[in-house]
Amino acid sequence: MEAPYRPRLADRISRLEPFLAMEVMERAFQMEAEGLDVVHLEIGEPAAVPPLAASQAMTRALAEGETSYSDSRGLWALREAIAADYEVRFGAQVDPHNVLVTSGTSPALLLAFSLLLNPGDEVVVPAPVYPCYPNFIRFCGGSPVFVPTRPEEGFAIDVDRIVEAVTPRTRAILVNSPCNPTGAIQSRETLENLSQLGLPIFSDEIYDGLTYDGRKVASASALDVDAFVFDGFSKRYAMTGFRLGWAVVPDWATRPLQIMQQNFFISANRFVQHAGLAALKEGREEVEAMRAGYQRKRDLLVSGLRRLGFGVPTVPEGAFYVLADARVFGEDSRRLADCLLERARVGTAPGIDFGPEGEGMLRFCYAVEEGAIEEALQRLEPVLEELRVGSPATPEGKASR
């Protein structure tokens, strides 16, 4: 019998790497379907509920028949509200005409990279890095150029290292602040220095509002430069499943991005946009309550991880992750994450997911209930103790030193 025909896949597909945090989560779902209980610290999924006003607004919009397409760029009222929110948060003057509403922040990033990149072009990316960024860049034909940041420096971007990485093929510099996976917040001075390099800044600010110890985020929207600012409702408002985000873009990019949105995505869901509008207008108190809760959970998790033997040289300043040095338990972060999932039933994200700079680390999400953090630490302790002393059950099958 002849082998079944399999079409040749596009070359760009081979450039994509699996999203390992999702792989861990999907394996955990399978374990749960088999009757096992798993503590999920692997994925950036807030356990908090969205602002009540957002859910009510979406229900009301559905009941009132708000189910048709919207303008491809988003409802004008939502774009106005997003622009007004930038003035409240940063004192930035944003024109609603420069706001593009999308079905989550990821489509906005994909559209923007598609706008600028030709085959062989480069984007400078500080690392460790959210794993989807380099995949977006590669899918669009470009190459990510990684510039390491260091744990002992709080994962701060060194502008001199960025300058060394810029070439004639560089098309943009990517900044994620607060950062996934490190929780680092970049200073306004850093953003200003990067903006002087004459390249577009791609600033992912999805975790703004989730900052601790009095830290504030500097937004590229407040700089007089060509900046693409990405944000959304998933993290700050605990609205991951709503799939609603936006980009603030330069004047010259508005029309081509509109055309791309028309063709590729039509528009974000109309009734979900009403939820976003309500969240911006009425959700501020609930966001602050979530932020205060995350700070307590951060401190609980950092303390627990250090007690178990993980290296956490600096406390995260924002977002809701801890990227911890796990090399005392095993050098291969993917094997270690698999081991902890199978043996301790705790999901973690392998550090290698965030680039070579993250190998030997694990990322833990603390946007969960405090009881889940306590349970995870309790489950991890006996397994990690065996790995630390070199049990035959180490992920590599040999002692880890």
Distance CA 356, CA 80 (A): 41
Structure tokens at 311: 């290296």
Whole-angstrom Cα distance, residue 234 to residue 282?
A: 16
Give the CATH architecture of domain 52-283. Answer: 3-Layer(aba) Sandwich (3.40)
Residue 396 has pLDDT above 80, yes or no: no
pLDDT band at 238 (very low <50, low <70, confident <90, very high): very high
Q: Is-cis flag, bond preceding 316, omega within 30?
A: no
Q: What is the pLDDT of residue 5?
A: 75
What are the tens digits of pLDDT across the range 81-95? 999 999 999 999 999
Bridge partners of 321, per DSSP, are 365
Q: In this predicted structure, what is the pLDDT of residue 394?
A: 44
Name the pTM for this structure. Answer: 0.92
Kindly report, residue by residue over 36-78, the tens digit of the pLDDT: 999 999 999 899 999 999 999 999 999 999 999 999 999 999 9
Per-domain boundaries in the chain: 11-49+286-388, 52-283
Residue 234 has pLDDT above 60, yes or no: yes
Q: By C-alpha distance, which of 375, 73, 46, 91 is closest to 216?
A: 91
Residue 401: pLDDT over 80:
no
State the Cα angle at 155 between 151 and 156, rounded to 5°: 140
Distance CA 331, CA 336 (A): 8
| Burial group, residue 93, by CB count within 10 angstroms (0-12, 13-18, 19+) | exposed
What pLDDT, in 10s, does the model give residues 336-382?
Answer: 999 999 999 999 999 999 999 999 999 999 999 999 999 999 999 99
Q: How far apart are CA 334 and CA 340, in angstroms?
A: 10
pLDDT-based confidence at 224, cuts 50/70/90?
confident
Domain covering 11-49+286-388, topology: Aspartate Aminotransferase, domain 1 (3.90.1150)
**What is the residue whose two structure tokens read 């995350």?**
294
Do the Cβ atoms of 220 and 175 come closer than 8 Å? yes
Residue 1 confidence (pLDDT): 61
